[in-house]
Amino acid sequence: MMRASYKLIFVFQVIAFLFLSSCSQTNTLILVKDGASDYQLVISDTANQQLLDAAKLLTDYIHKVSGCKMPVVTDASQPKENEILFGKSTRVSGLKDFEWKDTLGNDGFIIKTFGKKLLIAGSTAQGTQNAVYSFIESYLGCRLYAPDAEIIPTTKTIELGQLNRIEKPFFTFREVHGYAPHDTLYRNWHKLHLKGVNSPAWGMFVHTFIKLLPPDSLFASHPEYYSQVGGIRVADGQLCLSNPQVYKLVEQNLQKLMEANPQAQIWSVSQNDTYKNCECANCRHLDSLYCGPSGTLIWFVNQLAEQFPQKTISTLAYQYTRSAPKNIQPLPNVNIMLCTIECDRNKTVEEDQGFKNDIEGWGKLTHNIFLWDYVVQFRNYLNPFPNWKVLQPNLQFFKDNGCTMMFQQASGGSWSDMMELKQYLIAKLLWNPAVDVDSVMTDFLNGYYEEAGPVLKQYIQLMGDSLTASKQNLGIYGFPYDGIHSYLTPTLIGQYRQLFDEAEELVKNKPKVLARVQKARLPLDFAILDISLRDVDDEFTWLMQSGNKRIAREDMLAKLDTLVERSERLNASWTNEQGLTTRMYRDLVNDCIRKSLDPGLGWLKPVTLAQPASEKYKVGGAQALTDGKRGLPDYNFNWLGFEDSHMEATIDLQEVKPIELVSADFLQFIQAWIFLPTQVSVSYSIDGKTFTGEKTMKAPEKITKTGSFVSSFAFNQKKVKARYVKVKAKALLKCPDGHPGHGLPAWIFCDELVIK
């Protein structure tokens, strides 16, 4: 730190020597007066295209703001008293001893006045470009809140105080994985980067085992190249890293890729986006040497790093490899991508002792750490996600722990809750983690939402404070109903509605701004619709009673239609990372409601279970099977779960009735260890003791089918007269071989038992 301070002092001494002798000190530098200027912008006559473009950018914005067209000349021209010295021209050649790169890095810059001269420069063209955007924003008052929301004030006079600004960002790589940074102007303005195929620096970006050794072409002939899980080799897992042939082929394929793309510096050799790491004896031995599979992975990529010393080999510390290994150290050209996927977003990552231990552990082994953080709720993009209070402390914690590269994963090209504000705020924090968050947020809200801005700030603060006070978890794989006892209580939802009504009223005569407010309201409307599927109370429900019939509420159906219309019109129609759109969601909900309107003979009739359901998912116990509430493909919603257990349920119709149909819905989501029953049977009884007429049906889908989906087991027959109906579901009990949870308890989930 002392050395850097002396350098900065030296810089100012040299600059003062160069300019103060010929320039009188004044408190104000008048760049433009009454639409005219006697300034010229001076650029090196050897400037590259990026510098030339940056110079044009600056003069263009000066013209847009003031109407003044400032001339651009090279440093071979006659010097003037009034000049903008742009970049490292010969006019600042006296700074040849100033270690530009050490002081400013690749991205940093200096903006400084010397009497009537103004220096805007970086050690690189990129740094100078960054200086231009900071000047445009800080001193011309321009803003780029979103790709379609640029603010350019107008004034005939541009006055500057005496400026003395040097900035060098700590994070050398800064990406916000949202839709806006794909716009070139937005990305450059906010000094952001792009990863992977979008950046020439990256040859490959994460989850690359499948690309380096494609199982589609190799697994059939060489299953030994791939993970052994539960005693069998699987094509959808990882690589067998202890296999020498695997290393040889990966090295060869990586060499070919590097030769085809020689400019790329960073090459990811990293696990696929799943678990299923290899359990063969040799891999287990390596795991034991290095205290876990993360060490085996480092052992593997270190060999590649030795083979390609001029490249950076990047790998993941993610899920099963998140913890730092022992007895091994990544080579200097091995980059560690450390991921925060498991952390609770209602507390800082520093408060998560497990992650804190991991980041400190990796920090003892290497300083080449790329931090992969998550700022979105993947299962429900259109759910309010009030993670505001952890954004700054998390980034400051990452900085303090030496993570120089930062990737903030949001919803990519899709829209998610308050995305415009979040990507804007995070971009500012990535450049300067100590920025005044409240000031940035206020500026954005008042600029983007105009008169509605202060009201939306109340909404954000109320929701954030409610979540913090509740001490409830905020997960990136959560659902609206998770907030029913914290930040999405019925009372709070009522207050949020009032705030949005007020916000819309304030901008009702501004169609463009009104659309922005309505877009910000989409997550609240989605949460209301989704929470109401659980029949929370008389207001938050989809169904109402009309005589002896159940009917759907017209206002809720209309609200759902409005959600679809607005989300599509405002380009915010994806509800999750799997691509479920609001239109598809409407179809699911309408189907769910349709089924709920005709619950059948068993509606609200007593149910007894031979084996108790799990208490982990409290949906009302056995009665959930006949409550008339149908579940969406989400095991958190109205599904009765049985862990390591079969299901046997008997419904008492309380009188003998003719029966033509019995159906039972079951859920499969093997990523959460939930499998369809291997078979389901139904039988009937008059007295509840002797059951006859048993029919059996096997599972219609394979136990390997991925994704979350519902299968119905429907038994149609000629009329059977019975009072009691027994439904038995035979479970796997244990996760099968080849599954990451092989040998551990499996689940079955049943929703509704319908009798007609």
- 26-67 pLDDT, tens digit per residue, is 578 999 999 999 999 999 999 999 999 999 999 999 999 999
Tell me if 349 sits within 8 A of 358, measured CB to CB: no
What is the structure's pLDDT at 51?
96
DSSP state of 438: H
Given a cut of 90, whether residue 633 has pLDDT beyond it is no
pLDDT grade for 196, boundaries at 50, 70 and 90? low
- Mean pLDDT for 143-147 is 98
Question: Distances in Å between the alpha carbon of 389 and those of 172, 424, 438, 443, 671?
Answer: 24, 15, 11, 17, 31
Q: How far apart are CA 410 and CA 425, in angstroms?
A: 13
- 219-246 pLDDT, tens digit per residue, is 999 999 999 999 999 999 999 999 999 9
Given a cut of 80, whether residue 206 has pLDDT beyond it is yes
Q: Residue type for 376, please? A: V
Beta bridge partners of 179: none
- 258-301 pLDDT, tens digit per residue, is 999 999 999 999 999 999 999 999 999 999 999 999 999 999 99
Q: How far apart are CA 606 and CA 626, in angstroms?
A: 8
Q: How far apart are CA 476 and CA 341, in angstroms?
A: 8
- 438-460 pLDDT, tens digit per residue, is 999 999 999 999 999 999 999 99
Tell me if 728 sits within 8 A of 575, measured CB to CB: no
Question: Distances in Å between the alpha carbon of 391 and those of 287, 349, 397, 420, 461?
Answer: 35, 10, 10, 15, 14
Write out the two tokens for 752. Answer: 């509704």
Q: How far apart are CA 699 and CA 696, in angstroms?
A: 10
Nearest in space to 176 (alpha carbons), one of 384, 436, 426, 402: 426
Tell me if 470 sits within 8 A of 487, measured CB to CB: yes
pLDDT grade for 99, boundaries at 50, 70 and 90? low
Which letter, b or e, does each residue of 157-177 get, where b requires 16 or more Cβ atoms within 10 Å of its Cβ?
Answer: ebeeeebeeebbbbbebbbbb
Q: Residue type for 146, please? A: A
Q: How far apart are CA 419 and CA 428, in angstroms?
A: 14
Reported in sequence order, the residue ranges of 188-331 that DSSP labels E, i.e. its strands, are: 202-204, 228-229, 232-233, 266-268, 312-317
Sequence-separated (6 or more) residues with CB below 8 Å from residue 183:
147
Given a cut of 80, whether residue 477 has pLDDT beyond it is yes
Write out the two tokens for 322. Answer: 């998140």
Q: How far apart are CA 344 and CA 386, in angstroms?
A: 12
Question: Distances in Å between the alpha carbon of 552 and those of 491, 532, 549?
Answer: 23, 12, 10
What is the structure's pLDDT at 93?
59
Residue 755's SS3 state is strand
Q: How far apart are CA 69 and CA 36, in angstroms?
A: 8
| CA dihedral angle for residue 704, residue 707, residue 710, residue 713, rounded to 10 degrees | -10
Q: How far apart are CA 279 and CA 289, in angstroms?
A: 14
Reported in sequence order, the residue ranges of 115-260 that DSSP labels E, i.e. its strands, are: 117-122, 143-146, 149-151, 158-161, 164-167, 173-177, 202-204, 228-229, 232-233
Nearest in space to 382 (alpha carbons), one of 585, 183, 669: 585
Given a cut of 70, whether residue 21 has pLDDT beyond it is no
Q: How far apart are CA 289 and CA 238, in angstroms?
A: 20
Tell me if 394 sits within 8 A of 349, measured CB to CB: yes
Question: Distances in Å between the alpha carbon of 161 and those of 27, 36, 286?
Answer: 6, 19, 63
CA atoms within 13 A on the CB side of 637: 23
Reported in sequence order, the residue ranges of 562-678 that DSSP labels E, i.e. its strands, are: 607-609, 640-643, 647-668
What is the structure's pLDDT at 354?
95
Nearest in space to 617 (alpha carbons), one of 482, 422, 451: 482
Tell me if 119 sits within 8 A of 92, measured CB to CB: yes
Residue 45: count other Cβ atoms within 10 Å of its Cβ. 12
Q: Per-residue DSSP letters for 648-665?
A: EEEEEEEEEEEEEEEEEE
What is the structure's pLDDT at 422?
98
Residue 221: count other Cβ atoms within 10 Å of its Cβ. 8
What is the structure's pLDDT at 537?
92
- 349-391 pLDDT, tens digit per residue, is 999 999 999 999 999 999 999 999 999 999 999 999 999 999 9
State the average pLDDT for the chain: 92
Residue 484's SS3 state is coil
Residue 306: count other Cβ atoms within 10 Å of its Cβ. 12
Angle at 507 between CA 501 and CA 512, to 5 degrees: 115
What is the structure's pLDDT at 14?
35
Q: Rg (Cα) of the chain, in Å, rounded?
A: 31
Write out the two tokens for 308. Answer: 């390609």
Handedness of CA 165, 169, 174, 176 (dihedral sign): negative
Q: Residue type for 195, please? A: K
Tell me if 415 sits within 8 A of 574, measured CB to CB: yes
DSSP state of 148: T
Tell me if 150 sits within 8 A of 60, measured CB to CB: no
What is the structure's pLDDT at 660?
95
Q: Considering the chain, what percentage of its residues have pLDDT values greater than 90?
A: 86
What is the structure's pLDDT at 689?
94
Residue of 1 and 343 predicted with greater confidence: 343
pTM of the model: 0.91
Tell me if 522 sits within 8 A of 385, measured CB to CB: no
Residue owning tokens 């019975």 = 722
Residue 380: count other Cβ atoms within 10 Å of its Cβ. 26
Given a cut of 70, whether residue 316 has pLDDT beyond it is yes
Nearest in space to 28 (alpha carbons), one of 112, 121, 141, 115: 115
How many helical (H) and strand (E) elements, i.e. helices and strands, does the chain have?
19, 28
Question: Distances in Å between the alpha carbon of 574 and those of 234, 399, 412, 629?
Answer: 32, 33, 11, 25
